[in-house]
Amino acid sequence: MPSNMKSSKFSHLPLSTSGPVDCALTGTALLNTPYLNKGSAFPPEERRQFKLTGLLPQGAQTLEQQTKRAYQQYSSRPDNLSKNTFLTSLKDQNEVLYYKKLLQDHLSEMLSVVYTPTEGDAIQNYSRLFRRPEGCYLNINDQDRIFSDMAQWGQPDDIDYIVVSDGEEILGIGDQGVGGILISVAKLVLTTLCAGIHPSRSLPVVLDCGTDNRDLLDDDLYLGLREKRVRGRKYDEFVDEFVRAARKLYPKAYIHFEDFGLSNARRILEQYRPKMPCFNDDVQGTGCVTLAAIMAGLQISGQKLSDVRMVIFGAGSAGVGIADQVRDAIATEGNISRQEAAKQTWLIDKLGLLTTESDAAEAQKAYLKDASDWSGKETGLQSVVESVHPHVLIGTSTVPGAFTEPIIRAMGKHTSRPIILPLSNPTRLHEAKPSDLLKWTDGKALVATGSPFEPISGPWGKDGEEVTIQIAECNNSVVFPGIGLGCVLSRASRLTDRMLVAAVQGLASLSPTKNDPRAPLLPDVVEVRNVSVRIARCVIRAAVEEGVATEEGIPDEDEELDEWIREQMWDPVYRPLKLVEMEGATRSARGELRKSGSVIRNFVL
Ligand SMILES: NC(=O)C1=CN([C@@H]2O[C@H](COP(=O)(O)OP(=O)(O)OC[C@H]3O[C@@H](n4cnc5c(N)ncnc54)[C@H](O)[C@@H]3O)[C@@H](O)[C@H]2O)C=CC1
Ligand SMILES: CC(=O)C(=O)O
Ligand SMILES: [Mg+2]
């Protein structure tokens, strides 16, 4: 069934997005509510019923006509950052139009504008571009207000998905302080775009703990807490207060941690994941998507995962997250211990290879190489590649150009199809350009990147014929929306390792290389909603098997389960509005009116 087709069989479900939307709003208040506003597309009868005549020009248009006009306006913006700003204001006016435009018509073109790389520029310029607040800003010096500040966002049933960042390691651009709110917003845009998480049932949060970014502290327009980043006990208490408030206020919500600093990301994840449904995208999401890309690459090179040697350059949250996911998969495939499987990965960080003599973080310890084996030897990337002969090389270092020609040529000497994944974001921080990687390996490298790249042509076909190679985007955005959707719909009480493995298997089963060895390693972005349905299906199945799914009535059959999932995915279409009474309702911080536990938002002035 196509992703936009709804199933009457499941239209009774509370999260069903079929049928009319209850609306208590009229007039300007309705026009000012982005979730309900249809602008020039309000049909004549709704204009009369909702007191809109006189507030709109006569012509009642279709969503397609609005999309055409909005695209013309978008195209007239001179650069990507102003296109990004344009789209933000469109989202503030009319969410259906915003998502429809992106989702159905221009996804490949616009994803890089609302996400990496352009969103990185928007975040760096947050306090200069600021027009209106988006989301929940919590302040480390006002911890006693966390509960009441968060309580404004709805009633207990109202929030399904929270993305929270403390702004310390945004993409590869470091500490962005309060600007981190925009990574929470952008990740939530992707959950709606790619997995149909209801845009009014999610909550972006920034934990403002100060910043160590001198440029921000010196900027008189900076909007965040103007003090050095708070660390230690007070920081831990702050995170804990946030988690407690989130759990108490929105007990159904799944918590997605994004772009926390290296010293906190994994620690926080390990602390909370045994107790609640939560996820760290940089650690787990990146691990899952990268493992799926590696599996697709190995299918082409004809190798087994359990035979693979892998070098990871940049042993932070993402690098170690990938190492763990690959190690666990090797252990399962080869029926060996995790400890044994870890021997196939070499981690390199700022000071070179991590060995038993390195001052390693807890998470890195599983991968330390015996220092005596390396004594007197160089431990930089080139020497390690020359001595280890890796099949897979991963870049999560934020060091642009780190994968040099000699390194890649050295790798190519010992493996016929090197799998090379420069994953640092945004684009300017990639460890290598795909065009160079293909040039240095005569088109043999199997490449996927953290940010999008154009296809590359070269004389790499049979007898030197020109071929064009598509570069897959290996970004956690391919998996986190589907994983989140699976957890939300099954109301999983935890996100277990097995559920993550299931997500990888679901994604790997859709790799285009299954049918065409020249195809990109991961599905194209335009397939993303179907990919999310598949991942969600696998995650839900695993949640049921693990006994952590608390939702009743999850279908057993795959086809029926997919229908059940799709029915609960929000689509950017104008649904008819139904005028309702507003008595007994309360207003949320979004300006929407909520009746106890109702899914549908209304609004009063
Ligand atoms: N493609 C994707 O899906 C994802 C990409 N990333 C990207 O990966 C990069 C790293 O992100 P995180 O792991 O979250 O950051 P992180 O700060 O946790 O890790 C970066 C690591 O690189 C190391 N490093 C810095 N300079 C180095 C050098 N000269 N040589 C070797 N290592 C060096 C740092 O010491 C640190 O351990 C960022 O650019 C981020 O955008 C992160 C998550 C997902
Ligand atoms: C993609 C992502 O999560 C990052 O670059 O941090
Ligand atoms: Mg991230």
Domain residue extents for the chain:
8-115+581-594, 125-260, 285-474
pLDDT at residue number 593: 57
In the chain, the percentage of residues whose pLDDT exceeds 70 is 95
CA angle 171, 407, 450 (to 5 degrees): 20
Indicate if the pLDDT at residue 1 is higher than 60: no
Q: Is 259 annotated as a binding residue?
A: yes
Indicate if the pLDDT at residue 572 is higher than 90: yes
Token pair listed for 433: 């350009």
Cα distance between residue 182 and residue 131, in whole Å: 13
ipTM: 0.99
Q: Which residues hold their Cβ within 5 A of ligand 3, which is an ion? A: 259, 282
* Contact between residue 460 and residue 467 where contact means Cβ atoms under 8 Å apart: yes
Model confidence pLDDT, tens digit, residues 307-346: 999 999 999 999 999 999 999 999 999 999 999 999 999 9
Model confidence pLDDT, tens digit, residues 494-534: 999 999 999 999 999 999 998 888 899 999 989 999 999 99
Per CATH, is 125-260 categorized as 2.60.120.260?
no
pLDDT at residue number 580: 83
Indicate if the pLDDT at residue 2 is higher than 50: no
Do domains 125-260 and 285-474 share one topology? The answer is: yes
pLDDT at residue number 601: 40
Nearest ligand, CA 291: 1
Indicate if the pLDDT at residue 591 is higher than 80: no
pLDDT at residue number 241: 98
Indicate if the pLDDT at residue 248 is higher than 50: yes
Model confidence pLDDT, tens digit, residues 149-195: 999 998 888 899 999 999 999 999 999 999 999 999 999 999 999 99
**238 CB-contact burial (10 Å; exposed 0-12 / middle 13-18 / buried 19+):** buried
To test the pocket of ligand 1, the residue of 282, 325, 478 to mutate (highest count of ligand atoms within 8 Å of its CB) is 282
- Whole-number Å distance, alpha carbon 595 to ligand 1 midpoint, is 44
Of 3-12, 14-23, 253-262, 356-365, give the lowest mean pLDDT range. Answer: 3-12
Model confidence pLDDT, tens digit, residues 30-80: 999 898 999 999 999 999 999 999 999 999 999 999 999 999 999 999 999
Q: What is the DSSP string of 28-63?
A: HHHHT-TTT--GGG--HHHHHHTT-BTTB-S----H
Total Cβ atoms within 10 A of residue 85: 17
Indicate if the pLDDT at residue 89 is higher than 60: yes
Contacts of 139 (CB under 8 A, 6+ apart): 145, 208, 225
pLDDT at residue number 599: 35
Q: Report, as an integer, the average pLDDT of 463-487.
A: 96
Indicate if the pLDDT at residue 605 is higher than 50: no
Which atom of ligand 2 lies nearest, measured to the CA of 282? 3
Which CATH code is given to the segment(s) 8-115+581-594?
1.20.1370.30
Which residue has a Cα nearest atom 5 of ligand 2? 171
- Active-site residue, selected from the candidate residues 91, 101, 187, 595: 187
pLDDT at residue number 54: 96
Nearest to 111 by CA among 481, 533, 359: 481
Indicate if the pLDDT at residue 252 is higher than 50: yes
pLDDT at residue number 24: 85
CATH architecture of the region 285-474? 3-Layer(aba) Sandwich (3.40)
Q: How far apart are the first and last CA of the chain?
A: 41
Total Cβ atoms within 10 A of residue 118: 25
Q: Report, as an integer, the average pLDDT of 216-236.
A: 98
pLDDT at residue number 22: 84
Which atom of ligand 2 lies nearest, measured to the CA of 475? 1
pLDDT at residue number 358: 97
The helix, strand and coil proportions of the chain, stated in percent and rounded to the nearest 5, come to 50, 10, 40
Q: Report, as an integer, the average pLDDT of 369-393.
A: 97
To test the pocket of ligand 1, the residue of 398, 430, 476, 479 to mutate (highest count of ligand atoms within 8 Å of its CB) is 398
* Contact between residue 253 and residue 245 where contact means Cβ atoms under 8 Å apart: no
pLDDT at residue number 25: 86
- Whole-number Å distance, alpha carbon 187 to ligand 3 midpoint, is 9
The CB of 429 under 6 Å from ligand 1? The reply is: yes
